[in-house]
Structure 1
């Protein structure tokens, strides 16, 4: 029976007999004395075997890295010359008395060393070994502390932990559903939930009042560093609270979490309207640590005889914006070419720029290939508006508003990181007053959040002017990452039906897809709202990881595959017949 974890033994246990279980991190033979560094989830401790314990000394001589051992011994102080200040157990060592080899180990496919670079494909294939690395262990331990803290806060504030179904019905959440064929209902399918949205609303109708769940969610979508096909959501819903109260209680939860786990004081979270965030930063999740902002210059560019600028400037759906980078004139032409290629990812056709070498010299003190297309008085006005100084550079975006916002918003972050402009460690923010709808590529209106978000206007005003309608929605942002998003929900059937009509969902379709919700709203649904946090993103930020794959025990690759288990896999013909599924044959190559 274990008496201690390896990494928890200190000088307080000197002269105690201890029993340890763990893995051999390293073995060293120093002139007849064998040193074993024993590792478990709490850390490493040094164990010494000398020839006096002949049987166990011989066993210690046979072990290799990653062997699983049981060791019994006595804790003793290290000599002053051998103390290791870099280890929590560096003041002591274990004099080994007994060693049992519980299992041998093949040579690992990579060293469990934080200084060794290993390809992610290899790490994911042998994830059970990768997770032994102290760096990975610490990330998962912190994740556990995060969920414990959140559960404690929720419980203390009267929220009930309630599970909602995993097998459910497809819902329009903005991504593709994972479908599950039903064996007992021929030709029909369940869907894995993209979120517990409708069920948590029904719990409010049921009178549960305050609900939370740390829920698994599923989205069949293209992946990025912060996306996975299955992810974990901290789901919260409450009745009889308005948007300000919901934001206040969840802000308190995150403040307490950071203080408890990281000893970080986030302070109060400022509020910023969506329109202001898009105008100043080109993003609805701006990183406020970066002191760069977008400035509109449409009015000036309407007068320029340069189609690249005056076209978007005179287009109601266009935008011309400038991004001044203080001290950026030292950015090389090669770097500018790199930034031009970068913004093309977001649909930008190019990247205009002006370097300010000597502002007192007027146009002669500026450097740019676009100056010949612009009148001197317009340039003078623009330089004054941007408050440029010698050594600055100004980048320009001119296109559809959405393209300019995405391209310059992303460039703002990249330049800020490249030029070392990030100030401070943490910058929290609430983004509020989102539009109810946005226009898709076909010119149709879609929900910016989801169709159950309450508008800040009446049903009549909503249907009369949907493009101008704002929602009672809010996103929590930290360091340019959306931690969570939520809204006050629609709790009256006439408002929900009005939203459906704006979205082009007929009464018949609404009844077919959401009849259970519309029926529930007729039976005394209380005013309610909530918020959902992405647990994986939250832990990624708190640990400083670059990808959420580093804070998930067994993640999928960017192609939504598990290289360790080789999933997804094929189903045999018997299973397919039971599910009434026939696979289409691939056309043969000519």
Structure 2
């Protein structure tokens, strides 16, 4: 027999009754039933119940074991009484009577329990991550992650791609985040960098003629942490293709991701048609370039209904250049109580509040208030038909702008009795993000979001440039390496009108994919950077490898990268990326288990020619 196990803790069933077996694993739970001792023995694959009574030669030894001890047992497989069968686990029809035991590793007092669903502080979970990872939920998440990566690889190979590895130690190359720098011992005072992405290398592969590349690539960025972003490193499905258009990239990655979400999504609906929405429209309709399309709410511009109206705040605002009023529809949100809650949300976002209108059936109370009569008189007027019943608009805004304007707003938004609308105004960039968050909160609170669905959309037509409102300077708003739509001709007009062949894929409110058709022509690249104030010498100095390569027959090429961590987070239905990363950092970019970052020794600093300057 094998030294440690003849079977895993998920293998045994009724067909094994009568066999002598050897199992190894961790003590998941101990139950003493007064003369009968039951232990749930756990390994990576499952749980088997083992038991002993005083007739067992090792009963006294079994009484000593505690949770999370690692043990080996030998015993006989027995059928459970029919009334004691546990149908929720594969081994639920049997148990193993223990004849021999070996303690492979004792466990000290546990800082967190593996059995059960207790909540522990993140600091404890990350410091003792090796214990946290033993929990069933974490085992499932990490297995899911491994299976997803395997599926991605297979699907990419099936599409004719080959996997190539790119360097981990390279040159610093600004790509939208801070680099992690690595000092060079052989070149004192100079630094390598960990790659933010394999961007330049994969483009150079296309120049080298490799046509279809992919990689499950580690990327390193010194960023502030968020729930959906690691502060140090992450993995992405990185791909690049030659001789392709934007649509070719979409047609390549869509079936890969659709297949992954169908395979691991637990039966949730996966959108088969992926809408293409311009960046401008996404900002208008959803207040975000990563909209959650499970929420049906679509915002609209309603400026015309407030221009010159009795609501002075909006009317005066619209007299300023570049301002507008947007409405956030709220189907079924037509109650003063809900409107008050949304006002509190706006105040939590730093706004004085949000204007609102809600529509309701006309009541005797409202007629009485409007006409300055008693409620009984109003009831009589409604009953006789002298005052028309039906729907009415309510709320401070409705009173200020009058019935004709409120009715025009209602019709534009497609709302009815029991619905509401909320309003925000100003320069769009100043309030779009708040409007987007309001849309999300309204959709969540009113139960409008289809939680059993993965909703995808390509966000396209990103502007390449933006103007700094304080300095008036033109700079890149998005990826500077994207090919401008229209090529060189597009760069001769207003820079703010220039759109790039750049795209993101949004799913359920997260950005899952980002990519572009690359600017592979040196003359267009130099012109694009010149508009943003970067001279030819600076471009050659910072991106010399690409510029040099593009002078030797560069093919049109493009690609994208899909965030593995975020994809697994969505599939696992987790709200925090740390739940699907094996050994994550905390919010302060610290590894509490390995004590990183740590202080270098004086010898290490001397060898590298470095000195640490203490911070005040």
TM-score (normalised: structure 2): 0.90
Report the CA distance between 1:520 and its aligned residue. Answer: 0.2
1:320 and 1:404 in contact (8 A); partners too = no
Asked if 1:395 corresponds to 2:418, the answer is: no
Once residues 311 and 8 of structure 1 are traced to their aligned partners in structure 2, the CA distance between those partners, rounded to angstroms, is 74
Contact 2:359–2:418 (8 Å) recurs in 1: yes
Please, which of 272, 289, 298 is the counterpart of residue 277 of structure 2?
A: 272
Q: Say if 1:324 and 1:444 are closer, same or farther in 2 by CA, change over 3 A.
A: same
Query: Aligned to 2:10, what secondary structure does the other structure show?
Result: helix
Aligned residues of 1:463 and 1:498 also touching (Cα < 8 A):
no
- Gaps of at least 5 residues in structure 1 are none
Match for residue 305 of structure 2 among 296, 300, 304:
300
Aligned equivalents of 1:21 and 1:446: distance in 2? 62
User: d(CA) in 1 for partners of 2:35 and 2:429?
Assistant: 71
Which residue, 242, 253, 257 being the options, matches 1:250?
A: 253
Q: More deviation in 199-208 or 423-432?
A: 423-432
Instruction: Pick from 459, 465, 473 the counterpart of residue 488 of structure 2.
Output: 459
Task: Report the number of matched residues.
Answer: 583
Q: Which runs of 5+ in 2 are unaligned?
A: 371-391
Aligned pair partner of 2:100 in 75, 78, 98: 98
- 1:339 paired to 2:308: no
The answer to whether the aligner puts 1:21 opposite 2:48 as a matched pair is no
Deviations 1:232-280 (A, max 9, x none): 1111111122211111111010111123333646223222222222222
CA distance in 1, matches of 2:474, 2:59: 75
Per-residue deviation, 1:441: 5.8
Out of 390, 395, 401, the position equivalent to 1:368 is 395
Partners of 1:114 and 1:135 within 8 A in 2? no
For the structure 1 residues 519 and 73, does the alpha-carbon distance in structure 2 shift closer, same or farther, using more than 3 Å as the test?
A: same
Cα distance in 2 between the residues matched to 1:467 and 1:585 = 44
Following superposition of structure 1 onto structure 2, how do residues 388-537 of structure 1 map, counting pairs within 5 Å? 388-423=415-450, 424-440=452-468, 442=470, 443-537=472-566
Q: Secondary structure at the match of 1:404?
A: helix
Deviation of residue 566 (structure 1)?
A: 2.3
Partner of 1:223: 225
- Give the drift of 1:394: 1.5
Deviation at 1:35, TM superposition (A): 0.9
Distance, in Å, in 1 between the alignment partners of 2:313 and 2:602 is: 59
SS at match of 2:491: helix
User: 1:543-582 to 2 correspondence within 5 Å?
Assistant: 543-582=572-611
2: CA distance between counterparts of 1:314 and 1:94? 82
Q: Contact 2:69 / 2:105 at 8 angstroms: preserved in 1?
A: yes
Q: Secondary structure at the match of 1:6?
A: coil
Whether 1:384 and 2:390 are equivalent positions in the alignment is no
Match of 1:238 in 2: 241
Alpha carbons of structure 1 residues 405 and 8: separation in structure 2 relative to 1, 3 Å: farther
1 CA distance for matches of 2:25 and 2:226?
Answer: 36
Q: Does structure 1 conserve the Cα–Cα contact (< 8 Å) formed by 2:28 and 2:67?
A: yes
- The 1:357–1:263 alpha-carbon spacing in structure 2 relative to 1, beyond 3 Å, is closer
Pairing 1:16-415 to 2, within 5 Å after superposition: 16-54=19-57, 56-228=58-230, 229-262=232-265, 264=267, 266=270, 267-304=272-309, 306=311, 308-330=313-335, 331-332=337-338, 335-344=341-350, 348=351, 350-358=353-361, 365-371=392-398, 373-415=400-442
Partner of 2:387: none
Q: Distance between the aligned counterparts of 1:349 and 1:207, measured in 2?
A: 58
Point out the structure with max Rg over C-alpha: 2
Residue 65 of structure 1 contacts residue 107 of structure 1 at CA under 8 Å; is this kept in 2? no
Q: Compared with structure 1, are the counterparts of its residues 585 and 481 closer, same or farther at alpha carbon in structure 2 (3 Å cutoff)?
A: closer
Residues 343 and 410 in structure 1, CA contact (< 8 A), matched pair in contact too: no
In the TM superposition, what is the alpha-carbon distance from 1:139 to its structure 2 partner? 0.3
Kindly state the Cα deviation for residue 28 of structure 1 after the two structures are TM-superposed: 1.4
Q: TM-score, normalised by structure 1?
A: 0.93
Q: Cα–Cα, structure 1 residues 378 and 121, in superposed 2: closer, same or farther, change >3 Å?
A: same
* Cα distance in 1, alignment partners of residues 551 and 284 from structure 2: 40
**Greater mean deviation of Cα atoms: 479-488 or 422-431:** 422-431
Inter-CA distance 219–317: structure 2 relative to 1 (3 Å threshold):
farther
Aligned partners of 2:344 and 2:353 also within 8 Å: no
Give me the whole-angstrom Cα distance separating, in 2, the residues matched to 1:104 and 1:466: 68
Does structure 1 conserve the Cα–Cα contact (< 8 Å) formed by 2:479 and 2:502?
no
Q: Are 1:70 and 1:100, in contact at CA under 8 Å, matched by a contact in 2?
A: yes
C-alpha change, 1:445 and 1:82, in structure 2 (3 Å) is: farther
Cα pair distance change 1:113/1:24, threshold 3 Å: closer
The one-character-per-residue Cα deviations of 1:291-330 (angstroms, maximum 9, x if unpaired) are: 2111111222232355532354344433310111112133
Q: How big is each residue's C-alpha offset from its partner over 1:78-100, in whole Å with a ceiling of 9 and x where there is no partner?
A: 11110112223211212222211
In the TM superposition, what is the alpha-carbon distance from 1:24 to its structure 2 partner? 0.1
Tell me the CA shift for residue 22 of structure 1.
0.9
Cα distance change, pair 384–270 in 1 and its aligned pair in 2 (3 A)? closer
Distance (whole Å) between structure 1 residues aligned to residue 16 and residue 482 of structure 2: 58
Distance 1:557 1:472, change over 3 A: same
**How much has 1:12 moved relative to structure 2?**
3.7
1: CA distance between counterparts of 2:415 and 2:262? 40
Q: 1:11 to 1:483 in 2, by over 3 A?
A: farther
**C-alpha root-mean-square deviation of aligned residues, in Å?**
2.2
* More divergent stretch after superposition (72-81 vs 538-547): 72-81
